Amino acid sequence: MNETRHRVLDALADGPVSGPELADELDISRSAVWKHVEALREEGFEIGSGDAGYALDSVPEFGASAVEYGLDAPFSVEYHDSIPSTNARARDLAADGASGTVVLADEQTGGRGRLDRDWSSPSGGVWLSVLFRPDVPMAHAPVFTLAAAVAVTRAAREAGVEASIKWPNDVLVRHGDGERKLVGILTEMEGEADRVSWVVVGIGVNANVDPADLPDEADPTSLSAERGEPVDRRLFTQRLLEEFDALRQDPADVVEAWREYATTLGQRVRVETPGGTIEGEAVDIQFPGALVIETESGTEIVSAGDCEHL
């Protein structure tokens, strides 16, 4: 959202304010004020106009301006009602040189998960990808996946859902009958060994989605199913992006934050790694994201794999 439009919204939120007052305050013409008001209405902001002037009556439920308005993080948001995959779009933007962009969608028609699996993304979710260019070596990039897991866990908890993290990047809700998946994270990147060029962190949150509409294998849940009512996707997305922004700037602190929410530590696990299966007790995590497992034959440090809690 451009700076002036943001200032128009701020003034309207404190409204009512007349067109001439707004024009004076923002140092723009009255017709420019009118154009901004009309453009905001087009985007779903409800702006009343009475005798005392304009006032902001409501903010749209979701969308680029809705999320950018009041967002305390330096991201610009590109919104799509429907798109094949926000990660694919973010990769294209990366190739064009963009940075600090969040691609956000209500629905994905070709969502991708880890290990090239499909990721079901019906309307009502929070499907987003954050594109940025951190100044770190490639080997440190896994820490941003952990940061995303922590950020989304904190946002879910603020929304009243007791989420926790399964290594490396599943966010789950524990129930008496087991664990149900709430969020998946897919990080992609490009660069050279000593420096990342770009990172795309894709976060798929089953927000206001009926778990019955998601594939059974994942044992899915959603924020709305856990809460018994829909979540405010705008506020949830803002909290998620603000937490992620703070964490990405302090990679060294991410591992400690991750430990706080991890369900994997202290559990018996089976991890399918590219080099074979490792079974034992997960005892710790190491920067930038490796799992430390005590097995019968000694300590194993696992950087990547599919983890099952036993």
CB of 159 to ligand BTN, least distance (A): 18
For the residues of 140-207, what is the DSSP string, one character each?
GTHHHHHHHHHHHHHHHHHTT--EEEETTTEEEEEETTEEEEEEEEEEEEEEETTEEEEEEEEEEE--
Residues 6+ apart with CB under 8 A from 251: 134, 136, 140, 143, 144, 147, 287, 288
Binding mask 166-185 for ligand BTN (x = CB under 6 A): ------------------xx
123 sits in which H/E element: none
The interface region with ligand BTN, picked from 30-38, 40-48, 79-87, 225-233 by CB under 6 A, is 79-87
Binding part of the chain for ligand BTN, among 21-29, 202-210, 246-254, 265-273 by CB under 6 A, reads 202-210
Q: Which of 45, 119, 167, 236 binds ligand BTN (CB under 6 A)?
A: 119
Triad 2, 78, 75: Cα angle to 5°: 65
Nearer to ligand BTN, 69 or 119 (CB): 119
Among the listed ranges 34-42, 108-116, 157-165, 282-290, the one in contact with ligand BTN (CB under 6 A) is 108-116
Which segment (43-51, 111-119, 244-252, 301-309) binds ligand BTN by CB under 6 A? 111-119
Within 8 A by CB and 6+ apart from 119, the residues are 108, 111, 112, 113, 184, 186, 204
Nearest-angstrom CA–CA distance, 93 and 87: 10
64's CB contacts (< 8 A; 6+ apart) are 1, 43, 77, 78, 79, 104
**Tokens read off for 214:** 């998601």
80 lies in the site for ligand BTN, by CB under 6 A: no
User: How far apart are alpha carbons 200 and 257 in whole angstroms?
Assistant: 21
Query: Does 87 sit near ligand BTN (CB under 6 A)?
Result: yes
Strand bridging mode 126-132 / 163-166? unpaired
Tell me if 269 sits within 8 A of 279, measured CB to CB.
Answer: yes
Residue 69 interacts with ligand BTN (CB under 6 A)?
A: no
Q: Which residue is nearest to ligand BTN (CB)?
A: 184
Site for ligand BTN contains 117 (CB under 6 A): yes
Contacts of 249 (CB under 8 A, 6+ apart): none
Residue 12 or 130: which CB sits closer to ligand BTN? 130
Is position 101 an interface residue for ligand BTN (rule: CB under 6 A)? Answer: no
From 56-64, 125-133, 266-274, 296-304, span contacting ligand BTN (CB under 6 A): 125-133
Contact 147, 254 (CB under 8 A): yes
Nearest distance, CB of residue 144 and ligand BTN, angstroms: 14
Alpha carbon distance 282, 20 (integer Å)? 65
Q: Is 112 in the site for ligand BTN (CB under 6 A)?
A: yes
Is the Cβ of residue 36 or residue 180 nearer to ligand BTN in the bound state?
180
Position among 11, 33, 186, 254 found at the interface with ligand BTN (CB under 6 A): 186
Q: Does position 127 bind ligand BTN by CB under 6 A?
A: yes
Q: Report the residue from 6, 35, 80, 114 that binds ligand BTN according to the rule CB under 6 A.
A: 114
Q: How far apart are CA 133 and CA 259, in angstroms?
A: 25
Interface with ligand BTN in residues 204-223 (CB under 6 A): 204
**Residues within the interface to ligand BTN (CB under 6 A):** 85-87, 108, 111-114, 117, 119, 121, 127-129, 184-186, 202-204
